[in-house]
Amino acid sequence: MSTQTDLDVLILGHGLAGGLLAWHLIQKGLRVTVIDDPQSLSASRVAAGLFNPVTGQRLVKFKHADRFLPVARECYHALEKRFGKTFFHDMGMVRLIRSNHDQLVWGKRKNDPEYDSYLGEYFDRNTSPYVHDPLGSFRQHRTGYVDTTVLLDTLSEFFRGNDSFIDARIDYKEISFEKGQVTALDIRAKQIIFCEGYRATGNPWFSWLPFKPAKGEILALQTDTELPEQIINAGKWLLPSTEGLFKTGATYQWHELDELPTKEAKQELLDFVHALLRHPGNIKIIHHLAGIRPCTKDTKPYIGMHPHHPELGFFNGFGSRGSLMIPYHAEQFAAHLCDKTAIDKETDIKRYWKEDA
């Protein structure tokens, strides 16, 4: 095998992780090609791309949110400036109080200085003209969403224009490597980075990483009635768009892990919308999508190079918070690949490596 390479990095997978990592590497001057299966739907394209740093029944601020948020905003705004399109949408969130416990937790967090910039005013019960709020609600700040479909389409168009994108499905048997070189589709690169989402559960070189993939379904809907101007969080969420268009989701299912929409999830989401909205109007289903979140055992991403095969890298496991976390980690991993900076121990895949793996 010749030691001459065509590329610095091959990236397998064009979800948000693969797309943003490729973008950062190209900005650093590396020769990069993205390979993506055109028949596969990445979880990034199904997801609503929500930004919500404070979540859960205990209203816990996501660890490192203060670090991730400014980097994510800067990343998306830089891409908007470069391509003349809008990807990131600032949008407030109203979270409904659904129990006395919710009320107590909100009061506790609201008095915590750590949450000053994240939690806002309280609204009395039955004050919303749009949604049923029998126990009241409160505002959350620093929330919004990323239009991941528009962003990924824009990035793929850019990569194609630079002859850096290939539509192909690769079998792992088609990938060969030796010290300092990887070959796939007759392309030679110094390294390959796997950004495959949940499909990485079948990757023979990284089978030792424990995933807990979760199927999720969302609906894109249209109604003829007026909608709220904020994201509504009531266990599930409602994300308004324009002219009566909105999305709602998402379901969680850990057993039948396929990308097929189900009638059960559709009904669950429609029931949620009808119970939430005071005036649902005539609702029409525009899209019903299903995807599989690449959730991890410890809820932290999996990032790094194979301990025995430094030609093989991994950038995955962002679960349902990809739009918030990936910009920071893509920037950091690109720095590692280019400048050999250290990978955060919290996310380094070596935390799960055993010599008999």
Give the domain CATH number at 332: 3.50.50.60
Render pLDDT for 247-300 as a digit per residue (tens, 0 to 9). Answer: 999 999 998 899 999 999 999 999 999 999 999 999 999 999 999 999 999 999
Backbone phi, psi, residue 121, to 5°: -70, 155
CATH number of the CATH domain containing 136: 3.30.9.10
pLDDT at 107 over 80: yes
- Do 188 and 113 share a domain, yes or no? no
Output the pLDDT for position 174.
96
Confidence at residue 4, expressed as pLDDT on a 0 to 100 scale: 56
Asked if residue 12 is part of any domain, the answer here is yes
**How many folded domains does the chain comprise?**
2
Tell me: do 133 and 165 sit in the same domain: no
Residues 182, 216: one domain?
no
Summary mean pLDDT of the chain: 94
Residues 315 and 334 in one domain: yes
- Are residue 312 and residue 265 in the same domain, yes or no? no
**Residue range of the domain that includes 102:** 90-145+212-293
If you search the block for the tokens 């010290």, which residue do you land on? 179
pLDDT above 60 for 2:
no
- Give yes or no: residues 133 and 226 share one domain: yes
Q: pTM of whole model > 0.85?
A: yes
